[in-house]
Amino acid sequence: MSNTRKPPTMADVARVTGVSPMTVSRAFKADSLISKERREAILRAAEDLGYVFDSTASNLRSQKSGFVAVTIPSINNANFADTVGGLSDTLATRDMQILLGYTNYNTQEEERLIEQLLRRKPQAIVVTGGKHTERGRRLLETVNIPVIETWDIPAEPIDHYVGFSNANAVRDMVDHFVRAGYRRIAFIGGDVGRDTRGSERRIGFAAAMQVHGLDASRLIAAGLPPISMREGANAMAKLIEIYPDTEAIVCVSDLAAYGALTECRRLGVPVPERFAIGGFGNYEIGEVCVPTLTTINAFAREIGEKTAALILDILDGKQGIDVRISPELIVRDSSR
């Protein structure tokens, strides 16, 4: 480990192999013109010497970092993890790496992060959602790399976006509930103002209820986003106390919905007979729990894949076309 000798450079490999450093450089680049035998000899010598290619120097010289910067609200969320997975796997096909940062659902933190990430000279930057601090937005507007906002369709996109309307997605669920005969419908979500996607879902709920001429005032604030299962359970308890005549509940995520479900189970309240419940995000829990959860699939992984494809197109000089995802309502046992 604590070998203190200076690590070998391309010049060392060149010396050992009897070629110029430039030829060593070519040996390490996939599609460069160099004879097969020479490349093999060089790579063998490099391995023997314990040479490790230095991306830092390469990046500085070529002005290409191979990084795509990505900010997500939380690392501990299966939806965002899927998006990052899709991004990561797709970008890997072109040897690009993700530089990840967590905003903790906080635009101040996002601003700090954007600044930090841009210093690494990423070739594109992906942010979650369309809400930023003023300075954060300015940083993104000024930087001359592709900027992609995801998980949302911003009113005024900075550059590109790959997302969907959170409000419309929730409207689909409200419509489903109304079609199924429910009228007194409540919404369990986070405190207003922090999680923009959550806020939009609440707004979508209210708008859809109004269209149906229904009362949209049954709102339970479950705490600061992200809402945990536990907070979903607590919110359900509160709801039963405040609005006992509720028939159906739209939750800001499957995690909150599952929490609500467990609270019903504990109280011996049958779902969907007494309360129908719907979630958001198509988490694994929703298709395994009893009863299975009605939810909305936002195609988290596809968001990542399509964002990566968009980035690669732009870097290839093609025109980048923004993507509108169409979330899909999945009706399961918790609402029928």
Q: Does 277 bind a copy of itself (CB under 8 A)?
A: no
Stretch binding a copy of itself (CB under 8 A), from 77-85, 196-204, 235-243, 325-333: 77-85
Quickly count: other Cβ atoms within 10 Å of residue 224's Cβ.
14
> According to CB under 7 A, which one of 35, 116, 210, 217 is a site residue for DNA?
35
Q: Does 55 bind a copy of itself (CB under 8 A)?
A: yes
Residues 54-83 that bind DNA (CB under 7 A): 54, 57-58, 60-63
* Minimal distance, residue 266 CB to a copy of itself, in Å: 6
233 binds, among a copy of itself, DNA, none (CB under 5 to 8 A by kind): a copy of itself
Verify cis geometry, omega within 30 degrees of 0, for the bond prior to 291: yes
* Minimal distance, residue 65 CB to DNA, in Å: 12
242 binds, among DNA, a copy of itself, none (CB under 5 to 8 A by kind): none
Number of shown-chain residues binding DNA (CB under 7 A): 27
Number of shown-chain residues binding a copy of itself (CB under 8 A): 59
* Minimal distance, residue 212 CB to DNA, in Å: 57
Q: How far apart are CA 273 and CA 149, in angstroms?
A: 40
* Minimal distance, residue 75 CB to DNA, in Å: 28
Quickly count: other Cβ atoms within 10 Å of residue 2's Cβ.
3
Stretch binding DNA (CB under 7 A), from 48-56, 185-193, 258-266, 277-285: 48-56
Q: Does 102 bind a copy of itself (CB under 8 A)?
A: yes
65 binds, among DNA, a copy of itself, none (CB under 5 to 8 A by kind): a copy of itself
Q: How far apart are CA 198 and CA 202, in angstroms?
A: 6
Q: How far apart are CA 233 and CA 84, in angstroms?
A: 29
DSSP single-letter state for residue 291: S
DSSP single-letter state for residue 264: H
Q: Does 237 bind a copy of itself (CB under 8 A)?
A: no
Alpha helical stretches, state H, the chain: 10-17, 21-27, 36-49, 55-62, 78-92, 107-118, 134-142, 166-179, 196-211, 229-242, 254-267, 284-288, 300-315
Q: Which is nearer to a copy of itself, 80 or 177 (CB)?
A: 80
Q: How far apart are CA 169 and CA 173, in angstroms?
A: 7
Q: What is the largest CA-CA distance in the chain?
A: 84
Q: What amino acid occupies position 78?
A: A
238 binds, among a copy of itself, DNA, none (CB under 5 to 8 A by kind): none
Verify cis geometry, omega within 30 degrees of 0, for the bond prior to 122: no
Q: Which is nearer to a copy of itself, 15 or 230 (CB)?
A: 230
Q: How far apart are CA 271 and CA 276, in angstroms?
A: 6
Q: Does 97 bind DNA (CB under 7 A)?
A: no
Q: Does 145 bind a copy of itself (CB under 8 A)?
A: yes
Stretch binding DNA (CB under 7 A), from 25-33, 93-101, 105-113, 171-179: 25-33
Verify cis geometry, omega within 30 degrees of 0, for the bond prior to 8: no
* Paired tokens of 160: 């590109």
CA distance readout (Å), 90 to 11, 13, 68, 95, 308:
34, 33, 12, 9, 6
Backbone angles phi, psi at 125, to 5 degrees: -135, 135
Q: Which residues contact residue 299 at a Cβ distance below 8 angstroms, ignoring those fewer than 6 apart?
A: 325, 327, 328
Q: Binding residues for DNA, per CB under 7 A?
A: 6-7, 9-11, 19-23, 25-26, 28-29, 33-35, 38, 51, 53-54, 57-58, 60-63
Q: Binding residues for a copy of itself, per CB under 8 A?
A: 1-5, 7, 50, 52-57, 59-60, 65, 75-76, 78, 81-82, 84-85, 88, 97-100, 102, 115-116, 118-121, 141-147, 158-159, 228-230, 233, 258-259, 262, 265-266, 284-285, 287-290
